[in-house]
Amino acid sequence: MKRFLSILTLLALMTVSVSSFAQEKKPDWKRWHYLSEEEMHNTTRGVNFVQTDPPTGTPRFVAEFEPMQGVLIRYPLGIPESLVVQLANNCHVYCVVSSSYQSGAQNTFQNAGVNMNNVTFVNAPTDSYWVRDYGPWYIFEDREPAIVDNVYNRPRPNDDNVSGVFANFWNIPMYGMNLEHTGGNMMEDGRGHGVSDELVVQENGYNEANVREKMRDYLGIDPYHITIDPQGDYIAHVDCWGKYLAPDKILIARLPQSNPRYQYYEEVAEYFETTNCCWGYPYKVYRVDEPGGYTLAPYTNSLILNHSVYVPLGTNSTYNTNALAVYQEAMPGYEIVGVENNNYSIGWENTDALHCRTRGVMDFDMLFVDHRNVIFGEQEWQESIPVVSKFIAYSGEALKADSLLVYYSIDGGAYQTAHMTPTGNPDEYVGYITGYQGGSEIDYYVFGADESGHRYTQPVFAELDPHHFTMEQHEPAGELIITPDTLWFNTVTDTQSFTLKNETNNAIVISDILYDQDYHLMGDLDNPAIPYTLQAGQTVTFNVVFDTPLFPPAKDGTYYIGEVKLHTSIGERKVTAMLRKNIWDLGLTIVGPPFIYVEDLDGTEAILQNGNFGTHETITITSIEDTGDYPILVYELEHQLPYDLTSNEYFTINIYPAMPIGKAYQNTTLIVHSTDGELELYVSVNEDLLWSVSEIKNEISIYPNPANGIFTVESANMSHVTVYNLVGQMVYDNATDEKRVSIDASTWNSGIYMVTITDRQGASFTRKIVVR
């Protein structure tokens, strides 16, 4: 690991180390700040600590700037009551309090105006209010929450027991890491990087290898940056001079050059400015000025809680204003809150302030966006840039597949989105940035959401401070060639193919193929699996199937125009699908089966439809004929014949039982004559119904049939006779009360004609006659 200690500093530390080790019998009182007189003579620490094996799963030590469900404080308070009010308006407050103090805590909070719906009291005895130092260290072991306990570096058994209290409170595992440590001397980035100063080595027998091993095995911290203590004060806690603001951002205090400690702060700042963060480039180091001396300026001892930062204010207003401005610059979009503490007994100190007295409680159900291979600097030219990220939904809920996105802006333009699809590796997805030119400046961030309602971005600042890279200068060469670019479909269930050839210099990823659902196009089951990587010079063929069609709206021309969309790493491409309109022309059709059953006196209905969905040609219904030997039906038409039925229009025939003949079900056939030809409807009438209605006693006769000139229509109950030809034209129409009507057909064209007879009760019957 890169170390930043100078040779002189290393030699000095070695001297101190040997001297301290030789005089181990004498306690180092400076490192035991805040100790009572009794504690100063108590060298026992961790009396109730229980060591365990490390987690068997992969541990992830959650960073302070990640989503928090709550914040831990202790009562009696070490922070102003007004701050408790603000914290309870941000998230849930978990207050450790002994049972004897709980009523007092409740009254204090209520009187201060704290939202008590956001407060939970956890009963346990404590020795101090520095919950940052002794509070639980939360981790995820794979996808489950857990706590890591360590030996608290103070002889305070009640404080040291608090991790176990919360392991029981949450009913989650607790692992015992046998290291003497303290929360104020630990900061982590949530991606496996951590920082402490040299105190952690000193307090663990100067066995640095053991320290690093434990931090890796129990917390997943590797690399572990162990620095000098630039403050050089008794406490030696990293949060008194530095702070992680994001995985790639660190805040470090700065003193005036005249201050004797100035060089040590600069040494630490230079170390991080030349050390890579977890994303592969050097940390962005932000500096917050402190006046030094006894002027209060505890700015790095702040609390990040969700999208708010609570910054302890000092005694110099100019330095206060500048410190808040540094936070705002480093954390755009966050609420930066300055917090005063003028209570004499618990006021802030440069070595102990707001951070020391609070501790975040991670959101056990958070969504973690882990885009580890961040793209930065100048990139070698490629047609598209893959952005790979893991999405971990700790809630256990499913990810929203349509909400895993890469947002990107090219040369300062509006943000575009690229949907991310699975790579095949666990929890890993990829999206592609495309459409840039050589020399383009590209900003981007990754967004995810899950079904539990959790959302997260990386970076957390999104477009306010996105990832950034530059594409090298490049002259485009080659293209993705599609052959043919138009597919012609002339029959239903037709299959056509197109071929892609990669004539660029780089691989092209086909991430998705969208088939036009308006026209029921689909890919063949034997097509290559998507996503598909097409190497430079390679070809691939895809089959497109035109399946059972849906019915699109009318358009002009002979063909409907559909499309197949290809989402590729060099942008969207399209293949046109031309579908002949008359593929959809079904003519006059029956809605439902052609078998119709009349079961009761209410009758039933037959529904016809003009199925010319392609050409939209009108069909004329000219007449309807009952072909049975005996009329057993009465039917009513929705429209008077002849009737022009337009495309997609319906025509209803209401059918009723008419007269008895025979036994059981009686069968007949209705023939619908139209300009589209003949359509047959097969009708069965329950014979029980036939005796329950009035009888038509007189048989209808038409003779001679075929006819060479005059023919006769005979029925005892006639009121009207009408004759139509097969194209729906009426050639004869006569009202009559006679039993016999003679009709002259000598001038008619030869062919089939439909004779409709209406009786005096309004029932109509149709018969067919052939004229020669």
Give the residue numbers annotated as catalytic, written as ranges. 356
**DSSP, residue by residue, 123-188:** E---S-S-HHHHS-EEEEETTEEEEEEEEESSS-HHHHTHHHHHHHHHT--EEEEEEEE-GGG-EE
CB atoms within 10 A of CB 16: 13
* Buried-exposed string 197-223: b where 16+ CB fall within 10 A, e elsewhere: bbbbbbbbebeeeebbebbbbbbbbeb
Instruction: Tell me 666's DSSP state.
Output: E
Tokens of 673: 């004559």
CB atoms within 10 A of CB 352: 26
Q: Is residue 382 packed enough to be buried (19+ CB in 10 Å), middle (13-18) or exposed (0-12)?
A: middle
- Could you identify the residue written with the tokens 């497109």? 544
Q: Which runs of consecutive H residues, i.e. helices, occur in 533-622?
A: none
- Could you identify the residue written with the tokens 């303290």? 182
CB atoms within 10 A of CB 88: 22
Q: Prior bond to 553 cis, omega within 30? A: no
CB-based contact 544:578 (threshold 8 Å) = no
Sign (positive/negative) of CA torsion 227, 231, 233, 238?
Answer: negative
Report how far Cα 675 is from the mean position of its chain's Cα atoms: 55
CA dist., res. 216 & res. 474, Å (int)? 43
Nearest to 279 by CA among 326, 246, 243, 242: 246
Tokens of 183: 């929360």
Task: Please work out, in degrees rounded to the nearest 5, the angle formed at the alpha carbon of residue 738 by the alpha carbons of 714 and 713.
Answer: 20
CA dist., res. 748 & res. 741, Å (int)? 17
Nearest to 362 by CA among 26, 138, 127, 31: 138
CA atoms within 13 A on the CB side of 104: 10
Task: Please work out, in degrees rounded to the nearest 5, the angle formed at the alpha carbon of residue 608 by the alpha carbons of 605 and 612.
Answer: 170
Residue 604 CA: distances (Å) to CA of 569, 582, 654, 689 = 59, 33, 6, 13
